[in-house]
């Protein structure tokens, strides 16, 4: 897991912690009512939750509610939603670009509702090329960020001087003769070299930033020159867009290309599910079997289309969908947890690639139970 991923940090916060999932910006961000709706919701939700707490917990709880209340009252949100983890020794914020269901929790940090929000939006690369330059962007969390710009430099001065000398030495020269053809071939060779360098840089950025795919945008001749040097490992995740947008602003690029990115992500998820459901080797689609193999460390890639309610033994930590109230091995009463709660330590350990599906891909996986996985060749101990 990368250091920037907040899951491990939040899961390790000392508790009790007040966990708040709250929408902070409505559809019309220009309207700011005197009493903000998130503040009203917070006070109502806190009042309902307070009734179930012990006298000691009520004091600790009230202190954190007031901290969150003051923070929300003073904040002018730029994000759509926030996740707040507030405790005596901690204060951690995660801004979100998607709306959430307003929820309030007290006790252990409540991480599992965050999982789909962190994993459905993968990062993609955009390489925008024209005859002047190449621009490299990363699209993540609904934002397009410029990584670098590479200016194209073609020095044709020596070619022109040689051509002019030869023209002067000849009595007659056609406007578009062989010398002009040589000049254009040299220019074409220079662009080919530059585009091949762009392909190498795009591949390096994709590897460094773990991009789910790369979009090549520009005139057809140039992006085809780039694509022919894209490494084989990245070629299947490379999409070409034949449109000259070299002088288009980042904001306009995002507006025009966002639908293409969303369509590509959904099509990739659909393809993954279809391959999983039709494969007869190393693929598992029975939810109960997937859960067992996951906890044995035998799943390398997990696809999730819905949450599940599980029973987990507090001693051996084994979880399943079985209705048994007592663990057959330990004889202890099983506790009810969600699939998300089971996945938090697994994600934190970084041993399994987990993707939360949406749209048509999720509906397709639900036909076989909503949970599927690919087996790894060598088992790895899962953290549960």
* CATH number for position 11: 3.30.960.10
* Contact predicate 311/379, CB 8 Å: no
**Domain edge (last residue) among 46, 76, 110:** 110
Residues 195 and 285 in one domain: no
The answer to the question of residue 104 being in a domain is yes
Please say which residue of 52, 86, 110 terminates a domain: 110
What radius of gyration, in Å, describes the C-alpha atoms of the chain? 28
**Tokens linked to 81:** 């939603």
Residue 238 Cα distances to 206, 212, 228, angstroms:
10, 9, 11
Do both 217 and 142 map to the same domain?
A: yes
Q: Using the predicted structure, report yes or no on whether residue 271 has a pLDDT greater than 60.
A: yes
Residues 242 and 144 in one domain: yes
Q: Does residue 323 share a domain with residue 255?
A: no
Confidence of residue 159 (pLDDT cuts 50, 70, 90): low
Note the pLDDT of residue 382: 60
pLDDT beyond 90 at 345 = no
Residue in the structure block whose two tokens are 């994600």: 347
Confidence of residue 120 (pLDDT cuts 50, 70, 90): low
* Total tally of structural domains belonging to the chain: 3
**Residue 272 domain-assigned (yes or no):** no
Last residue of a domain, one of 110, 134, 150: 110
Look at 8 and 228; give whichever has higher pLDDT.
228
pLDDT (mean) for 96-103: 87
380 — pLDDT class (breaks 50, 70, 90): low
Cα gap 83→160, rounded to integer Å: 62
Residue 342 confidence class, pLDDT cut points 50, 70, 90: very high
- Phi first, then psi: give them for residue 372, nearest 5 degrees: -150, 160
Do 248 and 135 have their domain in common? yes
Structure tokens at 68: 């969150």
What is the Cα–Cα distance from 270 to 262, expressed in whole angstroms? 12
Task: Judge contact between 152 and 133, C-beta under 8 A.
Answer: yes
pLDDT digits (tens, 9 = 90+) for 199-255: 999 999 999 998 989 999 999 999 999 999 999 989 999 999 999 999 999 999 999
Question: Would 273 be classed as within a structural domain?
Answer: no
Name the residue among 117, 97, 112, 91 with its Cα closest to residue 11: 112
What pLDDT sits at residue 112? Answer: 86
* Cα 332 to Cα 371: distance, rounded to the nearest angstrom: 27
What percent of the chain is modeled with pLDDT above 70? Answer: 86
Mean pLDDT across 346-360? 86
Report the alpha-carbon distance of residue 150 to residue 198 in Å, rounded: 8
Rounded mean pLDDT of 128-154? 90
Pair (214, 87) in one structural domain:
no
| Residues 139, 219 within the same domain | yes
Domain of 301: which CATH number? 3.30.1330.30
pLDDT digits (tens, 9 = 90+) for 137-149: 999 877 889 999 9
Q: Are residues 157 and 249 in the same domain?
A: yes
In a domain, 99, yes or no: yes
Specify whether 160 is located in the same domain as 180.
yes
Range of the domain at 350: 279-375
* 245 shares its domain with 297: no
Residue 275 has pLDDT above 90, yes or no: yes
pLDDT score recorded for residue 157: 62
Do 43 and 94 belong to one domain?
Answer: yes
138 forms bridges with which residues in the sheet?
Answer: 125, 145
Structure tokens at 2: 């990368």
What pLDDT is recorded for position 10? 83
In a domain, 203, yes or no: yes
Residue 138 and residue 121 in contact, taking contact as beta carbons nearer than 8 Å = no
CATH classification at residue 171: 3.30.420.60
Predicted confidence (pLDDT) at residue 297 exceeds the cutoff of 60: yes
| pLDDT (mean) for 120-131 | 87
Q: pLDDT value at position 169?
A: 47
Give the mean pLDDT of 274-278.
95
Residue 274 inside a domain? The answer is no
Average pLDDT, the chain: 86
Can you list the pairs that 112-116 forms with residues at least 24 positions away whose Cβ atoms lie under 8 Å? 112/307, 112/338, 112/339, 112/340, 112/341, 112/343, 112/344, 113/21, 113/340, 114/7, 114/10, 114/21, 114/83, 115/7, 115/340, 115/343, 115/344, 115/347, 115/354, 115/356, 116/304, 116/356, 116/358
Same-domain status, 237 and 283: no
Domain assignment present for 365: yes
């Amino acid at each position: 897991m990368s250091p920037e991923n907040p899951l491990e940090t939040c899961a390790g916060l000392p508790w009790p912690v007040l966990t708040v999932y709250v929408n902070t910006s409505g559809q019309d961000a220009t309207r700011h009512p005197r009493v903000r709706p998130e503040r009203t919701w917070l006070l109502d939700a806190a009042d309902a939750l307070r009734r179930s707490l012990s006298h000691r917990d009520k004091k600790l709880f009230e202190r954190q509610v007031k901290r969150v209340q003051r923070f929300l009252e003073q904040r002018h949100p730029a994000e759509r939603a926030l996740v707040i983890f507030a405790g005596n020794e901690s204060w951690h914020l995660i801004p979100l670009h998607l709306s959430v269901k307003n929820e309030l929790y007290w006790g252990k940090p409540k991480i599992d509702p965050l999982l789909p929000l962190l994993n459905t939006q993968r990062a993609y690369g955009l390489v925008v090329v024209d005859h002047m330059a190449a621009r490299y962007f990363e699209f993540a969390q609904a934002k397009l960020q410029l990584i670098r710009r590479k200016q194209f430099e073609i020095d044709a001065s020596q070619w022109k001087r040689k051509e002019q000398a030869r023209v002067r030495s000849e009595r007659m020269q056609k406007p578009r003769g062989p010398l002009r053809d040589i000049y254009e071939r040299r220019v074409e060779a220079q662009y080919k070299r530059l585009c091949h360098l762009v392909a190498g840089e795009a591949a390096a950025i994709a590897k460094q930033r773990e991009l789910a795919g790369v979009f090549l945008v520009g005139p057809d001749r140039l992006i085809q020159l780039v694509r022919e040097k894209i490494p084989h490992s990245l070629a299947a995740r490379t999409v070409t867009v034949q449109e000259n947008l070299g002088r288009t602003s980042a904001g306009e690029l995002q507006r025009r290309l966002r639908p293409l990115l969303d369509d590509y992500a959904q099509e990739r998820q659909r393809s993954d599910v279809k391959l999983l459901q039709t494969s007869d080797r190393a693929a598992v689609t029975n939810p109960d079997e997937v859960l067992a193999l996951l906890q044995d460390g035998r799943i390398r890639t997990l696809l999730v289309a819905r949450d599940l309610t599980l029973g987990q033994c507090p001693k051996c930590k084994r979880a399943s969908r079985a209705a048994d109230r007592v663990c057959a091995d330990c004889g202890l009463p099983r506790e009810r947890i969600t699939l998300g709660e089971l996945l938090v330590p697994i994600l934190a350990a970084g041993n399994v690639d987990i993707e939360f599906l949406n749209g048509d891909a999720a509906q397709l996986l639900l036909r076989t139970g909503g949970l599927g996985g690919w087996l790894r060749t060598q088992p790895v101990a899962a953290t549960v």
